[in-house]
Amino acid sequence: MSTDAPDSPWSASVLTLYPEMFPGPLGASLAGQALRRRIWSLQTVNIRDFATDKHRKVDDTPAGGGPGMVLRADVADLALEHVLQPGERRPILYLTPRGRPLTQKRVKELAEGPGIVLFCGRFEGVDERLVEARQLEEVSLGDFVLSGGEIAALALLDAAIRLLPGVMGKAESGVEESFSGGLLEYPHYTRPRLWRGREIPPVLLSGDHGRIAAWRREQAEHVTRERREDLWAAYRARRDEQE
Ligand code: SAH
């Protein structure tokens, strides 16, 4: 056993119709090592195990008509009940395109907490009454539609796990990156100095840390202004407030 494992690992419970998708990519690389070192733990629960009829049905047709199927609230709730501990402190998140967009700020808060319970939707999603009754926090990965919540759950877990103490090599690699200062990150370069006729920007080889920092800030501001009007406006508002 390694000596660096905390007393109780950051714990993730995932409710899904496809438990075989976990840990999937989170079994490799940084997250995989951290799982084996018990920095985080993973429980997967198959929602279908809580179906009550002999066909193990988890979905039904939408009330009011329309295409697709809807996950039943009663079945999903039994699955949730199964993972919730007495005095449960972990937030319960439902991955859905109708949710608030996930941000690095929220990921950081989640990483600083005791863990997370994730509900992965399928079909057209889950009956709204489950969301209300269990006060699920609805989060979206972005303005596009996946076929299920599993890949979104894996992405969210990956983002949180890399922030857990002891997971990333250098503590600062989580501090100076995209979004942490409200800007997208500056571009990176490494050897060789000349590649396909392209030089590394000379300022980065100058050894002048003040000039390097200024150049990087300028680049970060430039790319944010070009690509992300929303982040740029928020950044400027904050800057003006400070002045
Ligand atoms: N009919 C739904 C989409 C269902 S997609 C709608 O239009 O809102 C099926 C499942 O995939 C969802 O229940 C959700 O769990 C997951 N999913 C799809 N897109 C997602 C996204 N952008 N972020 C997070 N989860 C998503």
With pLDDT > 90 as the criterion, what percentage of the chain qualifies? 91
- What's the one-letter identity of residue 128? E
pLDDT, tens digit (0-9, with 9 covering 90-100), for 53-83: 999 999 999 999 999 999 999 999 999 999 9
155 and 52 housed in the same domain: yes
Cα–Cα distance for residue pair 155/160, rounded to 1 Å: 9
Specify the length of the chain in residues. Answer: 243
Same domain, 180 and 157: no
Same-domain status, 38 and 152: yes
Range from 6-10, 84-88, 138-142, 202-206 carrying the lowest mean pLDDT:
6-10
In contact, 73 and 125? CB cutoff 8 Å:
no
Residue 84 forms part of a structural domain: yes
What CATH number does the domain containing 145 carry? 3.40.1280.10
Alpha helix stretches (DSSP H) within 70-173: 73-83, 104-112, 128-133, 150-161
**Domain C-terminal end among 161, 185, 219:** 161
Q: How far apart are CA 148 and CA 164, in angstroms?
A: 26
| Closest atom of ligand 1 relative to the 145 alpha carbon | 19
Domain termination residue (choose one: 161, 195, 227): 161
Residue 1's pLDDT band, with cuts at 50, 70 and 90, is very low
Q: Residue for token digits 């990150």?
A: 185
Does 3 reside within a domain? no
Q: Tell me the best of 17, 92, 96 to mutate to test the pocket of ligand 1, counting ligand atoms within 8 Å of each CB and taking the most.
A: 96
The verdict on residue 168 lying in a domain is: no
Q: What is the pLDDT of residues 221-238, one digit of tens each?
A: 999 999 999 999 999 999
Please determine, for residue 9, whether its predicted confidence score (pLDDT) is greater than 50.
Answer: yes
What letters, b where the CB count within 10 A reaches 16 and e where it falls short, cover 224-237? bbeebeebbeebee
Q: Which residues line ligand 1 (CB under 6 A)?
A: 95-98, 120-122, 124-125, 140-142, 144-146, 148-149, 152
Pick the last residue of a domain from 130, 161, 192.
161
Alpha-carbon gap, residue 235 to 181, rounded angstroms: 8
The verdict on 78 and 189 lying in the same domain is no
Question: What gap in Å lies between CA 240 and CA 243, rounded to an integer?
Answer: 5
Asked whether residue 43 falls in the same domain as residue 145, the answer is yes
Q: Check whether residue 148 and residue 225 sit in a common domain.
A: no
Average pLDDT over residues 184-198: 98
CATH of the domain at 226: 1.10.1270.20
Domain count, the chain: 2
Is residue 170 a part of any domain in this protein? Answer: no
Using a cut of 0.75, tell me whether the model's pTM lies above it.
Answer: yes
Per the structure, the complete domain to which residue 60 belongs is given by: 10-161
**Phi-psi category of 67—alpha, beta or left, where left has phi over 0 and alpha has psi -120 to 50?**
beta
Which of 145, 151, 158 has most ligand 1 atoms within 8 Å of CB, for mutation? Answer: 145
**8: pLDDT confidence band, cut at 50, 70 and 90?**
confident
